Structure 1
């Protein structure tokens, strides 16, 4: 629906409420910015004038039938919600509004553990992977990888890890002499596990930060989860001390720079490789998402997560 909208036109149809934010005009009158998603999974922000959050009758993830006016602001389509009502169950399918990974969560989960079983030759690292993935399996199937920017979809955590594992295998073949493959693959598989506590993801894939996530962040939380698994598996001993320290370093440094949220900077070849693979997949996801609906021969809007770059989609 939103893709076909024309400036100075009218559109109507079912949309899902993703978020509701209250603003105020220069004369201090309240209005809402509704982030809405149509059944083609296109998201837009629409204004609802003279309305406060307290007065608005619907929560996020509710599907409504909306009637919109389409204007123009700064060269972009500008949507105003004129009329709305709650949609009847017979008027929509909820799955049409859910942004989800393109592969089955079950298959991605099984693939990751299969690669671990075949590639992670260190028995202790393998035990840590299985302990965490089996303990948090229910969450892993649903969890988004982020609130925004990249892989912020249902099963996004799995999808991000699934693709990074494949990149790790490919790059490991090129740089094999410089890398401990067991450490690198374990770091890839576990690098974002802290997000299982940093974020809460609802059944539609929308995520928000938990108090623990806001106060600590997923890098520190992930290191704590490694310690929890090691305690459960009785791996906290002098023999394993260095091995566990190296793994936690990969989690603590995978953002690359402290100004990007890293606890420390990468100081191992495997940590450097993990950071690069993570960045490649995050940036490629943003490229794919931005270019998906872009017309050939045109530039995208500036993309915040890509240093405000505008991407070009060739003819």
Structure 2
């Protein structure tokens, strides 16, 4: 049974799995070697020391390995650490990634099925075929269903990319009909595919970070590459439709300063950008409010990306949409 770091107390006997975030060696005043570790899981991190059998343990695991640790929690200089008596490397199939990284609170399989079903509403045969190729790509789907949407700003959790994509696509469905003349099929397809390059841009098997191609190319370029590769499998795919779809992807950040190669130049691109930006910002602020409200205060710490503080107001009890509220008021009268 997994024991989380935030549950460990002084004098506890520890027997649980952790991720090795840092590993270094040292020598005591008496000249004896020891290993200094920093262990993590989804609840936090803790220092650890190996004082005995150092030579036997040193080569048995490395930084970024999952390990089984046995030992005792002690207090050293007012900080908790584990004195390790046994440590062994674990295979990835022996652990649950959700024990080590934040996980979406929503059901991944249900979200994926909902997104697929929305995509099935696309009536344009070329866009429908394109989406089908992505859903039939099991390697892509496996990455897409588990990837985070960012390393820290919004939807920073396993399954976060899928959650954000579904949320954006639902926003498109809820708002596009308000503005006659928009290409709904193009918008649905663009919303489903807008961030697909993040499956290659981000690394998330050991910690949330960036791959080499993610740093050098970015998710917009990587996403365009994936879309173009699928379109090549559809020889009758119209060139103009391909251009409009790719424009949605390359312009969805909206501004050059936000990493967008082009600014939105179609109505569909404008809508996609603003809805994407809103979904990311609302989730990111809510994420920040949960983690950064100062004790005894209703204010967060300073958010460096938004360049401001946020006020943590009490949540409203209102759950009904306005039309139902109006309807209820009229019935009472």
For this structure pair, what is the TM-score category when the shorter chain's length is used for normalisation? 0.7 to 0.9
**Is 1:180 equivalent to 2:183 in the alignment?**
yes
**Once the two structures are superposed, what CA deviation does each residue of 1:273-297 show, in whole Å capped at 9, x if it has no partner?**
2122222222222223233355685
So what's the TM-score if we normalise by structure 1? 0.73
- How far apart are residue 68 of structure 1 and its match? 6.9
Contact 1:298/1:314 (8 A) holds in 2: no
Distance 1:268 1:34, change over 3 A: farther
Q: 2:210: which partner in 1?
A: 209
Give the distance between the partners of 1:98 and 1:242, measured in 2 at CA: 42
Distance 1:167 1:68, change over 3 A: farther
Distance 1:2 1:196, change over 3 A: closer
Structure with larger Rg: 2
Matches within 5 A, 1:237-252: 240-252=238-250
SS in 2 for 1:292: helix
**Is 1:193 equivalent to 2:191 in the alignment?**
no
Matches within 5 A, 1:11-160: 16-17=18-19, 19-20=21-22, 34=38, 36-37=40-41, 41-43=42-44, 58-60=62-64, 61-62=66-67, 64=69, 67=73, 81=81, 83-84=83-84, 86=87, 94=96, 95-118=98-121, 120-135=122-137, 136-160=140-164
Q: 2:255: which partner in 1?
A: 257
Superposition RMSD in Å? 3.7
Contact 1:133/1:140 (8 A) holds in 2: no
**Is 1:162 equivalent to 2:166 in the alignment?**
yes
Name structure 2 gaps, 5 residues minimum.
25-34, 50-57, 316-333
Contact 1:100/1:155 (8 A) holds in 2: yes
**Once the two structures are superposed, what CA deviation does each residue of 1:177-226 show, in whole Å capped at 9, x if it has no partner?**
15221111111100011112222332x7x443222222111101111211
Distance 1:270 1:87, change over 3 A: same
Give the distance between the partners of 2:302 and 2:88, measured in 1 at CA: 34
SS in 2 for 1:131: helix
Name structure 1 gaps, 5 residues minimum.
23-30, 50-54, 73-78
Contact 1:150/1:286 (8 A) holds in 2: yes
**Is 1:280 equivalent to 2:278 in the alignment?**
yes
Q: 1:303: which partner in 2?
A: 303
Distance 1:112 1:311, change over 3 A: same
So what's the TM-score if we normalise by structure 2? 0.70
Aligned residues: 282
**Once the two structures are superposed, what CA deviation does each residue of 1:29-73 show, in whole Å capped at 9, x if it has no partner?**
xx9895733xxx4336x6789xxxxx796533446568476999x
Distance 1:263 1:48, change over 3 A: farther
Give the distance between the partners of 1:209 and 1:141, measured in 2 at CA: 18
**Once the two structures are superposed, what CA deviation does each residue of 1:110-140 show, in whole Å capped at 9, x if it has no partner?**
111101112x221111211121232122222
